[in-house]
Amino acid sequence: MNLPAKRNLYASRELGFTSNPPLVQVAHAAVKAKDNPYYRIKYERIAKRRGKKRAIIAIARMILTAIYHMLSTGEVFNPCDLYQVDMTVELRDKQKEKALKRAVSLLISQGIVQASDILDSTLKPA
């Protein structure tokens, strides 16, 4: 008789026995943080599709992966999809402006364009 394989119905078991409770507590704290909405917005998006319990486990796994990469490479926390997260319009415009300034300064320092070319193109109407 062929019986189907048992499936693990508990998502929290995926993290392992020893690391589960502290990481879930960290994930809850990260979701509730007011100063940085990165994990809160990710949690809300996942919770819509998968449910609250699976979403908190997903956030815990994201945090664990971020900690691993920070410790192995020595870099600071800088998620690649930070600009894709919903931000206020003012903050998004400020970050775009800052990125444009950095790009222009890089182009000028590499000698690809000259400062006079940039000033001329910004002053001319389109």
Task: Compute the distance between CA of residue 118 and CA of residue 121 in angstroms, rounded to an integer.
Answer: 5
**Residue 20 near residue 53, CB atoms below 8 Å:** no
**Residue 66 near residue 77, CB atoms below 8 Å:** yes
At 21, which helix (H) or strand (E)? helix 20-32
| % of the chain surpassing 90 pLDDT | 34
Tens digit of each residue's pLDDT (9 = 90 or more) over 77-93? 877 777 666 666 787 78
Query: Domain boundaries in the chain?
Result: 9-83, 87-126
pLDDT at 126 exceeding the cut of 50: no
- 3-state SS assignment for residue 10: coil
Task: Compute the distance between CA of residue 66 and CA of residue 31 in angstroms, rounded to an integer.
Answer: 15
Residue 83 pLDDT: 64
| % of the chain surpassing 70 pLDDT | 73
Task: Compute the distance between CA of residue 61 and CA of residue 122 in angstroms, rounded to an integer.
Answer: 45
pLDDT at 61 exceeding the cut of 50: yes
Q: Which position has the higher pLDDT, 65 or 117?
A: 65
